[in-house]
Amino acid sequence: MTIFGDTIDVRHLFPVERRALLDLLDGLSPDGWTRPTGCPGWDVHDVVAHVLHDYARRLSGSRDGHRGGGFLPGETLPVFLARVNDEFVRAARAFSPAVLIDQIRHLGVQLDAYWAGKDLDGPADLDVSWAATDLPSPAWLDVAREYTEFWVHQQQIRDAVSRPGALGEELAGPVMDTFARALPFALRGLVRAEGTSVVLTVGGREWPAVWRAGRWRMGAGDPAAGVTMDQDTFWRLASRGITVEEARRRAVVGGDPELVEAATTLLAVVA
């Protein structure tokens, strides 16, 4: 086990998640495409366009080695991403829903093929900054992070049109498993005795992080704090669909208050 924990292989879930998304989109009325979402300033059409952008950008960069559209002077990663995402979404407002759906379907199978060829134990195409900033990420974590991106955006669309779904263990469980890998990074500002651990429990499943060899890492130890949430609260906290304060109100916590406070700031998106 590395500091990131055991390998997660979500590659078989991309077409399953996409099929659920396309079934949802195929059934939307014109009004549904204009509903506001949890992404400020973006309606359903915009979020779908952003998913298409994610597909196209990952294929272009990871598969094809294309490095167009770099940082502007002084841009941080969050500012860069916010800018390029907004630029694409604004341009894609000229695309019909049918065109967006067709392009997601077309590029999705190509992305599936790219993931299928990845060596999950190799280096990531893109490091996962919310899991560590001082170590390279493994490919499996990069791929799992992409899956969570698509799943969360589908939930945002479902929230907007009041169509719950994609919440079963097959599709949602790996999202929780991936987001939990942000726990060591959330605790990084605190030093504790060797073997001290914090246990995160979501939907009845536990993920411990332990202080060992000078850093927090995934792994079991001597529990000093615990945080328990349901799945809905956890994914919304990790993607900042709710505030840290709201997540704490919904959670059951105990033990070392500093560890609890740090653990409940867990973030699994770039922000």
- 3-state SS, residue 3: coil
Instruction: Classify the C-alpha dihedral 46-52-58-61 as positive or negative.
Output: negative
- Structure confidence by residue, pLDDT tens digits, 160-189: 999 988 788 899 999 999 999 999 999 999
DSSP 8-state symbol, 138: B
Instruction: Classify the C-alpha dihedral 172-33-54-185 as positive or negative.
Output: negative
Q: Which domains does the chain have, with CATH numbers?
A: 11-166 (1.20.120.450), 181-263 (3.30.1050.10)
- In 3D space, the residue among 269, 113, 116 whose CA is nearest the CA of residue 182 turns out to be 269
Please say if the pLDDT value at position 271 is more than 80: no
Token representation of residue 215: 């850093």
pLDDT at position 168 is 85
pTM score of the predicted model: 0.96
- Structure confidence by residue, pLDDT tens digits, 139-152: 999 999 999 999 99
210: left (phi over 0), alpha (psi -120 to 50) or beta: beta
The rounded percent of the chain whose pLDDT value lies above 90 is 92
Give the helix/strand (H/E) hosting 157: helix 139-161
- Structure confidence by residue, pLDDT tens digits, 21-57: 999 999 999 999 999 999 999 999 999 999 999 999 9
